[in-house]
Chains A and B, each alone.
Chain A
C-alpha cells in the first residue's frame, strides 16, 4: 500500500523478495516427496498473506471500495432517508427482497462493504508494518554505492575534463552535500535526498488507522438523538426525553451529561422578495440552560441557538436542524368534555411549510375516540377552488382536516407513531348529504362535528424546533488523525527522493566524469537536475566534449 514500491526498491527489500518470488525450493528431506506446486499449510498462509498485502491487491480493493460505495448513492438508504426508502420499496415490490438480501438499503453497514474495508485495512497494516521496519533500519544507512556503469541508467550524462579525478570528486562531494546525504568511495560520490517521502507515506497510512480508531471510538461510545420541542417547553438530557435515539454499541446511558434547557422563542426572517421569496432564513432559538440539573443545579446560562452555531455543553452538542408549526387544537366530545388541549406537532411537507398532522383524542368511553387528520396551511389561499399554500409565514393560518370517530387503538399496548392514525377501527364523518366532512378552521374558530359527535376548536399556533443532540467522544483523535494524514500526504507527494552519482576516472590522458540521477518518486524531471550538477562540477577551465545518453 504505497506509491513508491517501484522496481528500484531498497536492496534489502529486493533480497528479501528474491528468495520468495521464485519456485518454492525444497529445503529438507521431508520435502522430497512433494510434487511441484504443492504447499504446506504454513506456506499457503504465507502465500496468501503476501498476496493480500501486495500493492496490486490493495489497488483492487481500493477500486472495489469505490465500486461498492456506488449503490449507496443511487439506491435510497434507510439510514439516510427512511421515508424515501419505504416509498421506493413500495414502488418496487419485486426488487425489494433481492435488494434486502444484498443489504442494498444499508450499503455502508453491510457485511460485504465491511469485508472490503476490513481487507483493505489488513492489507494496509500488512504492508505498512514491514515497511516501517525497513525504513527504520535503512534511515541511518549510507547512500548506496554508485552503480558501475552510470551511463547505462536512463538519466545520465558524461563529459571529459583535464582535471584530476580526485579534484572533481572532491568538488562533487562539496556541492552535493547541500541537502543530501553523501557517501564516497573509490572514484565515486553518491548522494541521496528526500528520504522523508517514505516517512510521509508511512505517516499518511498510519494516520488513516488513527482516523478509523477515532471514528470507531466516537461511534461506539457516542450517540445522537433528535427531539422536537415545542417552543416554551423544556428538555432534560435523559433517554426518555428523546423522540429518536441512536446510540453506539458501547454507549452507557449513565454517562449522559445532566444538562437541561428550555427553548423560549423561535424567530425566523422571511424573504419578502427575489427568487427565494416566501422562504425562510435567519433562524434563532434563544434558550436558557443549566449544565447540571441534578439535585445541586448549576447557574442558568443563555444561548442564542442558530444554524451553523451549535451549543456545546460539556462534550455534548446541540444543533438546530429544523422547525415547524404546532397548531393548538381542542377537541371536545358530545358532552363538551375537553379531550385534547395542547399543541400538536405538524410535520412540514415542503419548503413552504404546508404541514401534515394527526390529532388523536381518546374518548371517555370506548369506541368514542375522535381522530383528525389533515393539513395546516400557514398562508392559505383558494385558487379556482383548490386550496394552496402561498408561503411559510403565518399570514392566513388555516387547518383543513378530515374527522373520524371510533376506536384509535390507543389502549392496545402497542406504541403508535404520533404522526399517523390507525384507521382500522375508525369511521370517517360525513355530512348529512353524504359528502365528506372537513374541519376547515382559522384561529379561534370552532366547528361542531356531524351527528353531535363533538366539536373542534382551533385555539392558536405554537412553533416547534427540531434539535439534534449528539456526543462524539474523543473526536480530537479523529481530527488529529486527519491533520497528520494530510501532513503525511503532502510529504509523500511533494518530497522527491533522488539519488545522484558521480564517477570520475582517468582515461586516455583525460578525466571522464559520469553523472547519473535516479528519481524514485516517478514524478520528477531529472534533466534540469543533471545539467545543474554538471554545471556545478565544471569549472570555467575545464573544456571538454560532451556525450550523453537520453
Chain B
C-alpha cells in the first residue's frame, strides 16, 4: 500500500482525518434514515409487510413453498407510508455504503501517511475494526437478510468512530521495533476480521435473546422492532454461521500467527501475557459456544449467552487490557518501551 502520489505525509494524515469525520457524519445520516424508516414501519402490522416492504425481515426463515402472501389480505399500509418505508430504507443503505467508502478512504490515507498498514495503535485499530463491522454488514446483508441490523450497525460504528476520534486519537507515528514485521499484516488483519465478525455475531445473538424473551413473556407488539426480527431459528442460524466464519480466523490469529510472531519478536511462542491469556479465554468461550449449540439443554438461549460472554471478553481484550494491564507486551495504548526487558 505504498503508492507514491507525490503527496506529503501531513496531507495524507489530514485527508484521513477529514475522511473519518465525513464517514462519521454520513453514518449518522444513515442512522437517521433508518430511524425514519423504522418509525414508519411501526404504523404497519408486521404481517402486512412481511413479504412486500423493503426491509422485510422474515424472507429467509419462512416455510418453503408457501406462495408469496399478498399484502391485500391484511390492512396494508397506505401509499405514502409504503413509499416512506421504501425510500428511507434505500436511502439508509446508500448512505451506509457511502459512509463505508469514506471510512475506507480514511484508512487508506492513514496507511499512506504512515507508510504502513494502519494498525499501529488503538486509534487505528478502532477505525479499522469498525470498518470491518460495517463492511461485513454490507457484504452479508443480502445473503443472510440482515436488513434489520441496519440501525444497530450504523449506530455502533458511529459510536466506535466517535470514541476513536475523541479519546483514542494519536498522530501518525513510526511503529515500535517489535511491531515492524510482515506478521503485523497477517496477525492483526486476521484478529481484526475476526473481531468485526464476532461483533456482528454478538449483535445477532443479543437480538436472539431479546426476541426469545419477548416471545417467552408474550410482550411482542405487532408493529415493534422485535416483531420484525427474523424467527428465532433464523437468528440462531445466522449467528452460528457468522461465528463459524470468525472462529477459524480467530484461531489463526491467536493460536497460529500470534505465537509465530511472538517467537520472532519476543523469543517465546507463548508468554501468558495478559493479552494472550484474554485472547485464549475468548477462544475457549467461543469453542464452548460451538459445542453448546450441539448439546442438549444448551442450545439457543445458553449458546447465545455464551456468544455474548465471548464478545465481552473480546472487546475487553481489545480495549481494556491496554489500560488495565501494565505488564502486557501488547500495551500499545501508551508509548511503551521500544523493546522491553523482561525476566530481569
Would you give the shortest CB distance from B72 to chain A, in whole angstroms? 21
Whether a CB of chain A sits under 8 angstroms from the CB of B264 is yes
Contact A108 B281 (CB under 8 A): no
For A317, give the chain B residue with the smallest CB separation.
B267
A286 to B156: give the CA distance in the assembly, Å: 50
Residues of A within 8 A of B177 (CB): 280-283, 307-308
Contact A489 B248 (CB under 8 A): yes
Contact of B293 among A244, A522, A531 (CB under 8 A): A522
A531 to B64: give the CA distance in the assembly, Å: 7
A470 to B270: give the CA distance in the assembly, Å: 13
Contact of A69 among B264, B266, B280 (CB under 8 A): B280
Contact of B277 among A73, A155, A478, A549 (CB under 8 A): A73
Contact B248 A274 (CB under 8 A): no
Contact of B64 among A72, A155, A279, A351 (CB under 8 A): A155
Residues of A within 8 A of B325 (CB): 73
Contact of A275 among B183, B269, B335, B344 (CB under 8 A): B335
Interface residues of B in 241-288 (CB under 8 A from A): 241, 244-245, 247-248, 251-252, 255-256, 264-269, 271-274, 277-278, 280-281, 284-285, 287-288
Whether a CB of chain A sits under 8 angstroms from the CB of B166 is no
A348 to B338: give the CA distance in the assembly, Å: 12
Residues of B within 8 A of A58 (CB): 291
Contact B64 A493 (CB under 8 A): no
In the complex with contacts A5-B294, A69-B281, A276-B173 CB distance below 8 A: yes
Render A93-124 as a binary contact track against B, CB cut-off 8 A, 1 for contact: 00000000000000010000000000000000
Which listed segment binds A: B21-29, B99-107, B208-216, B295-303? B295-303
In the complex with contacts A224-B268, A351-B335, A468-B267, A276-B174 CB distance below 8 A: yes
Interface residues of B in 322-344 (CB under 8 A from A): 325-327, 335-344
Which listed segment binds B: A13-21, A77-85, A424-432, A498-506? A77-85
Render A523-542 as a binary contact track against B, CB cut-off 8 A, 1 for contact: 11111001100100000000
Interface residue count on the B side (C-beta < 8 Å)? 71
Residues of A within 8 A of B75 (CB): none
Interface residues of A in 108-164 (CB under 8 A from B): 108, 155, 157
In the complex with contacts A482-B256, A525-B60, A82-B343 CB distance below 8 A: yes
Contact of B267 among A1, A321, A324 (CB under 8 A): A321
Residues of B within 8 A of A157 (CB): 64-65
Specify which of B66, B248, B251 lies most central, judged by the most chain A CB atoms within 10 Å of its CB: B248
A76 to B268: give the CA distance in the assembly, Å: 19
Contact A321 B338 (CB under 8 A): no
A438 to B327: give the CA distance in the assembly, Å: 33
Specify which of B181, B264, B288, B321 lies most central, judged by the most chain A CB atoms within 10 Å of its CB: B288
Whether a CB of chain B sits under 8 angstroms from the CB of A550 is yes
Contact of A281 among B256, B274, B338, B341 (CB under 8 A): B338
Would you give the shortest CB distance from B311 to chain A, in whole angstroms? 14
For B176, give the chain A residue with the smallest CB separation.
A281
Contact of B291 among A59, A72, A321, A486 (CB under 8 A): A59
Residues of A within 8 A of B327 (CB): 76, 80-81, 84
Render A48-92 as a binary contact track against B, CB cut-off 8 A, 1 for contact: 000000011011001101100110110011011111100000000
Residues of A within 8 A of B14 (CB): none
Contact of A321 among B65, B240, B321, B342 (CB under 8 A): B342
Specify which of B171, B255, B342 lies most central, judged by the most chain A CB atoms within 10 Å of its CB: B342
In the complex with contacts A1-B291, A351-B335, A523-B237 CB distance below 8 A: yes
Whether a CB of chain B sits under 8 angstroms from the CB of A518 is no
Contact of B274 among A4, A73, A320 (CB under 8 A): A73
Contact of B284 among A4, A65, A83 (CB under 8 A): A65
A525 to B236: give the CA distance in the assembly, Å: 11
Contact A281 B174 (CB under 8 A): yes
Contact B66 A550 (CB under 8 A): yes
In the complex with contacts A4-B294, A59-B295, A308-B241 CB distance below 8 A: no
Contact A308 B264 (CB under 8 A): yes
Would you give the shortest CB distance from A77 to chain B, in whole angstroms? 6
Whether a CB of chain A sits under 8 angstroms from the CB of B170 is yes
Contact B294 A322 (CB under 8 A): no
Interface residue count on the A side (C-beta < 8 Å)? 85
Residues of B within 8 A of A351 (CB): 335-338
A468 to B266: give the CA distance in the assembly, Å: 9
In the complex with contacts A281-B176, A470-B268, A493-B244, A347-B297 CB distance below 8 A: no
Would you give the shortest CB distance from A546 to chain B, in whole angstroms? 5
Contact A308 B293 (CB under 8 A): no
A319 to B265: give the CA distance in the assembly, Å: 8
In the complex with contacts A3-B293, A523-B241, A275-B173 CB distance below 8 A: yes
Contact B294 A522 (CB under 8 A): yes
Render A244-278 as a binary contact track against B, CB cut-off 8 A, 1 for contact: 10000000000000000000000000010011100
A475 to B263: give the CA distance in the assembly, Å: 11
Would you give the shortest CB distance from B283 to chain A, in whole angstroms? 9
Contact of B288 among A4, A63, A475 (CB under 8 A): A63
Would you give the shortest CB distance from A415 to chain B, in whole angstroms? 17
Contact B284 A69 (CB under 8 A): yes
Whether a CB of chain A sits under 8 angstroms from the CB of B62 is yes
Render A472-502 as a binary contact track against B, CB cut-off 8 A, 1 for contact: 1001001000110110011001100000000
In the complex with contacts A76-B327, A525-B237, A548-B66 CB distance below 8 A: yes
A76 to B277: give the CA distance in the assembly, Å: 12
Interface residues of A in 215-259 (CB under 8 A from B): 224, 226, 244
A100 to B309: give the CA distance in the assembly, Å: 29
Whether a CB of chain B sits under 8 angstroms from the CB of A374 is no
In the complex with contacts A59-B288, A66-B281, A279-B335, A308-B178 CB distance below 8 A: yes
Contact B297 A56 (CB under 8 A): yes
For B260, give the chain A residue with the smallest CB separation.
A479
Interface residues of B in 150-171 (CB under 8 A from A): 170-171
Render B62-102 as a binary contact track against A, CB cut-off 8 A, 1 for contact: 11111000000000000000000000000000000000000
Interface, chain A (partner B; CB < 8 A): 1-7, 55-56, 58-59, 62-63, 65-66, 69-70, 72-73, 76-77, 79-84, 108, 155, 157, 224, 226, 244, 271, 274-276, 279-283, 307-310, 317, 319-324, 347-348, 350-351, 419, 466, 468, 470, 472, 475, 478, 482-483, 485-486, 489-490, 493-494, 522-527, 530-531, 534, 546, 548-550
Other than the known A84-B327, A281-B338, A347-B344, what 14 A-B pairs have Cβ atoms closer than 8 Å? A59-B291, A66-B313, A80-B327, A83-B344, A84-B326, A274-B173, A281-B180, A283-B338, A307-B180, A308-B264, A310-B267, A319-B264, A522-B237, A525-B60
Enumerate 30 A-B pairs (CB-CB under 8 Å) in ascending A order.
A3-B293, A3-B294, A55-B291, A56-B297, A58-B291, A62-B291, A63-B284, A70-B277, A70-B281, A79-B272, A81-B342, A84-B327, A224-B268, A271-B174, A274-B174, A275-B171, A307-B177, A322-B339, A351-B335, A351-B337, A351-B338, A466-B341, A472-B269, A475-B269, A486-B256, A489-B248, A489-B251, A525-B237, A527-B63, A527-B64
Interface, chain B (partner A; CB < 8 A): 60, 62-66, 170-171, 173-178, 180-181, 183, 234, 237, 240-241, 244-245, 247-248, 251-252, 255-256, 264-269, 271-274, 277-278, 280-281, 284-285, 287-288, 290-298, 313, 321, 325-327, 335-344
8 closest A-B pairs (Cβ-Cβ)? A550-B63, A319-B267, A468-B267, A351-B337, A73-B277, A66-B284, A73-B274, A493-B244
